[in-house]
Structure 1
Amino acid sequence: MLVARDQAGQLVSLTNRPDQQTIQKIRSSSQFCPSCRQPVILKAGAVKIPHFAHKQLEGCQPFSEGESERHLKGKADLHSWISRTHQVEAEAYLPEISQRPDLLVDRKVAIEYQCSFLSAALFTARTQGYQENEFFPFWIYGGPPIKRQGRFYQFSTFHRLFFQYSPLFGFWFLAYCPNREQFTLYSQLIPLTSSLYSASLQTIPLTSLSYPPHFAQPPASVLFSLSDWFKQKERWLQQKLYFQQGLYDPFFSAVYKTGHHPSLLPLCIGVPVRFMALIKNHPIEWQFYLWNDLLIHEEKVEEREAAAAIENRIKKGELQLNVFPVLSTPTITDLMKEYLAFWELAGKAEKEAGQTTFGQMEREKGFIKEFEELLMHRLIF
């Protein structure tokens, strides 16, 4: 921790990187945890960031998680950055929710700089605790760099907890690296599979930004083609067939029961649409269920009706939502609106199943030529 209280109850802060004289002065007196009131000791060496640590950690819930050097430096960096223009408190205790954000800005914004793994349940509980008490939670990722796979990026279930959304940036994710003292903004996040995303990147030095941060809007272009999408979809199908033994998978089982093959479904099933990141499953899965439940039976399907059908499949455990604790919009209804708008524009041929693999490949070429601009343009926010 970066703050403690002395014997008089006064706050002692290490956020401004104290010099050796100040460190010796602090060491010559007693300090206590602001939360549990138990004694703490000052740890400061030639390499380590100066910080306080409990002599015995037992019984202090707000400080129950150990802090890495990365977390301590990142928190100190962010405190110094924000304090230039705003009132900011490090590790301020909020008794109404028994939480202690890394930084509290203007008594309104709770900044959590998260370097280590946190379960979705705990991440969500903390977020809701802030929101229900009128604090704005702002999560910043501080862990290892996001891994690349060719042109794309791998975002795990944990990473996706940090996703936010805005009309200008689409789904976005903010990381801060204390070693390089720079932010990385991943925006226009578009999934090709449940964990593989295309993204537009901006890397900005901490010293080049003011708080709250304002980033330039990314270029209005998609970083993959519809042909890339179809290749990734087929690769996903083949891997799922191989590793999960098709017949035992709910999706494959449902497809086979209709007399179809997953690789020969109508070309309108399994297309990329705006907001598809809301559902963890590949779009071919939820679009097939929607087609099987409604679209082949009704000439006109309303957005709310489609959303209800998807939610029913979620309740059955056949589909799964991504957990985005910070997001309130967009919604499943918004996603259905996007897909149904495309469904209305597509022709009869695109809504019919293929007969052979070669024939499907030829159909895909025509589909790409006719619909690539429409589909890819709609992915950009």
Structure 2
Amino acid sequence: MGRGGGFCRQVGGKENPAIAAWALAAALQAAAAMALLLLAEATQLKDQPAAALQPGEYGEVMFVSRGAFLGLGCTYTAACVCCAAVTLCGYFFWAKLLCLACPLLLLCQLLSLLAAAFGGYMLQQLEAFRSSQVELLRGPGGAAAAAAAAAAADFSLQFLDAHASLVLLFAAAALAAIAPLSKAAAIDEKGTMVDVLLHLPLLCCCIAAAAVLLLPSRCALNVGLGAGFLLAAAAAAALAALQHCGGLAARLSSLLLAAFYLLLLLLALASLLAVGRQFAAGRAAAIRYLRVGPLQQTAFLLQLEAAAFEDFKQFLLLNKGGFSLAAVALAAAVAAYSFFAAAFSLRAAVGGADALRRDISEASSDKP
């Protein structure tokens, strides 16, 4: 985390690029904490039947309670404050405080994994519930049967159905926070701002896109694309670390990284088009479903082809297309970052080690 000679040795001071990694981690933790605290203050968790549960009791979906959200939200808030305090005081005032960074990083990474698993479990339970609701729309009772089943559902499922976007927000932010936390632990005095302003945001966008695609869905398309983004983030982190080895290894890793980022650009564009097409087709089917009238809606769904019904179903499962739009936005961000990262990596391969050296870049920036 910028120590070079150990966690308690100050390297780079206030100019250390690790500060940007800490700041990004704190920002993502703050987003997750805010979402969790907003969920804890939802009126549904204060009213019956949620309020009638004894401490330690849950509804059909475990951990859907004010205490669980409030506890995790407060813990995340404390982690965010600690990250900010250690960074500001350690890098700007008293370097010995950076000795606390090692245990803090480990705790924050474990907390991020816990929160992501927590949100992923809830979103998968919600996906199963919504899937059964969509299937009821094609049954004998149609929309009336689905509405009756929704009204009779456990309060935890109703709560998640109403607040799915906040659940996905804290889960995706928590998972994405792992990247800057890991970078803060690895970056040293040889690092440049390119590491934390280009490579690192790209990793965060990849992980966030993977979370948005994987956590709330079981669709083969979304799962495949999400797994691709997750593997891409791991590969990019490994190749970016090799850039600082020096010599031939640095040039070779830069060439590989440039080629990899071009492939990632293609993956992002393909994801943008595929998920965008799925959203547009599902939205069009949902609009036609609403326009045919209550008496013909069941017959309309039965007449849909399998592919068209799947698009309609995914539109409803993914929060009426909201999650798909989030995935499209993140894929667009990955595409933009990948283009510039590929260009920089190619420049590093041509320019050799000097293109990656912090002292050379600083000296060139001081020229008139």
Give the shorter-chain TM-score range: under 0.3
Whichever of the two has the greater Rg, that structure is: 1
Q: Which has the higher contact order (CA 8 A, sep 6+)?
A: 2
Structure showing the higher strand proportion among its residues:
1
Q: Name the structure with the higher helix share.
A: 2
- Normalising by structure 2, report the TM-score: 0.21
